[in-house]
């Protein structure tokens, strides 16, 4: 698949390298290409471009920018370049305020989510939440002693979710579809839970797994 990734941070770099390893074509989009010089040197098959070119390139697009910049980044990418496409939303609505007792603060409340804000703003884009509740280093081919962890996804478009399920499963995850975009009100805060052991005790190596009765 041709995958365009909007972002130049750890998530964009990790997913970009991982998707290349799995045989996909990848273009990373950024406003500051110099930030990706090292990534480009290590991943010669990957391309670096502006937000709009990366969005245009992708048959499927990944949004991997700072939560507060998510809407601005989609606008920079050009909504016409994303219209009708599946966009994997990895973002979290983390506020600038400091964590409290290891608990990150959000700029959304429990009755809204960043995914819903994006979906409302850009109605023709098929957003699917995924990859937001684990550290960038574990996003592709995660190795845990209890087997594949669970990636919680949600979104309004069933076909888009099927595409994302296939991609996420192909890089080593079990997928749990939690329903429509509204479910992001529950999935986004998983990032807060995931970060607590890291912020309190420096423990960052874990992932969530949904277990069911035998």
The footprint of ligand NAP (CB under 6 A) covers 7-12, 30-32, 35, 64-67, 69, 72-73, 76, 90-92, 94, 132, 135-136, 191
In the bound complex, what is the minimum distance in angstroms from residue 214's beta carbon to ligand NAP?
31
In the bound complex, what is the minimum distance in angstroms from residue 75's beta carbon to ligand NAP?
9
Of 34 and 159, which CB lies nearer to ligand NAP in the complex structure?
34
- Measured from each CB, the residue nearest to ligand NAP is 9
Q: What is the biggest distance separating any 2 CA atoms in the chain, rounded to whole angstroms? A: 51
Of 96 and 213, which CB lies nearer to ligand NAP in the complex structure?
96
Of 10 and 83, which CB lies nearer to ligand NAP in the complex structure?
10
- In three-state form (DSSP H/G/I as H, E/B as E, the rest C), the secondary structure along 121-190 is HCCCCEEEECCCCCCHHHCCCCCCCCCCCEEEEEECCHHHHHHHHHHHHHCCCEEEECCCHHHHHHHCCH
In the bound complex, what is the minimum distance in angstroms from residue 65's beta carbon to ligand NAP?
3
Of 38 and 158, which CB lies nearer to ligand NAP in the complex structure?
38
Please give the backbone phi and psi of residue 47, each rounded to the nearest 5 degrees, phi first.
Answer: -115, 150
> Which residue from 89, 208, 209 is spatially nearest to 153, judged by alpha carbons?
89
Query: At what angle are helices 70-77 and 114-121 packed, to 10 degrees?
Result: 30
SS3 63: strand
In the bound complex, what is the minimum distance in angstroms from residue 169's beta carbon to ligand NAP?
18
In the bound complex, what is the minimum distance in angstroms from residue 87's beta carbon to ligand NAP?
13
Of 7 and 160, which CB lies nearer to ligand NAP in the complex structure?
7
């Amino acid at each position: 698949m041709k995958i365009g990734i909007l972002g130049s941070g750890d998530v964009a770099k990790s997913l970009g390298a991982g998707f290349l390893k799995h045989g996909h074509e990848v273009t990373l989009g950024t406003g500051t290409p110099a930030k990706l010089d090292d990534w480009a040197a290590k991943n010669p098959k990957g391309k670096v471009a502006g937000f709009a070119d990366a969005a245009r390139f992708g048959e499927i697009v990944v949004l991997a920018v700072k939560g507060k910049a998510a809407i601005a980044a989609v606008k920079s990418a050009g909504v016409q370049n994303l219209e009708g496409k599946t966009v994997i939303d990895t973002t979290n609505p983390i506020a600038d305020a400091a964590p409290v007792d290891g608990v990150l603060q959000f700029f959304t409340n429990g009755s809204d989510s960043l995914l819903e804000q994006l979906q409302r703003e850009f109605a023709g884009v098929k957003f699917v939440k995924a990859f937001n509740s684990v550290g960038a280093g574990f996003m592709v081919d995660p190795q845990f002693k209890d087997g594949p962890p669970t990636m919680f996804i949600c979104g309004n478009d069933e076909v888009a979710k099927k595409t994302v399920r296939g991609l996420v499963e192909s890089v080593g995850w079990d997928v749990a579809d939690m329903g429509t975009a509204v479910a992001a009100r529950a999935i986004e805060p998983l990032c807060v839970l995931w970060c607590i052991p890291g912020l309190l005790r420096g423990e960052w190596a874990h992932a969530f797994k949904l277990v069911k009765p035998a």
